[in-house]
Homo-oligomer: A and B are copies of this chain.
Amino acid sequence: MDEYWMHIAMEEALAAQKLGEVPIGAVIVQDGIIIGRGHNLRETTHNPAAHAEMIAIEEASRTLQAWRLLNCTLYVTLEPCPMCAGAIVQSRIPRVVFGTRDPKAGCAGTLMNLLQEPRFNHQTEVTAGILQEECSELLSAFFRRIRNQKAVLKQKQRQSPEAAEE
């Protein structure tokens, strides 16, 4: 079942990608029903807090009309950053499932584990690595394309500085 919901989180990630955003997606499920979903919108909205998890948490809170997201599972394609891990603690989400690890900012076990910090007033069950390869490849392919585009642009600039500016 975790794979089923992670596929939907991946659909959200693809929605981000269509907008030129880093492809990261999230869904929040309660009793088999999606109550919140979101995809990374940082560039589109100019909002540093517009991560997939934050948008999904906000939607789920609106759905339930409550800031405590009890009996929910949050699925996200990439390991949460400190902000999103903090929001998960704030909203008392009991379980988080993520796709692939984030070696640069992952705070659900990689750099640190804010979801299971005994000094906070809430700890979360964590399942890592669901559809890991697919979630990782989504990101790798995105950054590969960005690098290729930049390389092509640079080559154009070398060949004809004016044409590249068009």
Contacts and interface: CB of A to CB of B under 8 A. Distances in A.
Given A82-B114, A83-B86, A114-B82, A57 B49 contact: yes
A108 B43 CA distance: 27
Interface in A67-101: 67-69, 81-87, 89-92
Contacts of A83: 82-87, 89-90
Interface residues of A, number: 40
A58 interface: yes
A104 interface: yes
Contacts of A164: none
Contacts of A136: none
A92 to B, nearest CB: 8
A43 to B, nearest CB: 8
* 3 smallest beta-carbon distances between A and B, as pairs: A83-B86, A82-B86, A48-B91
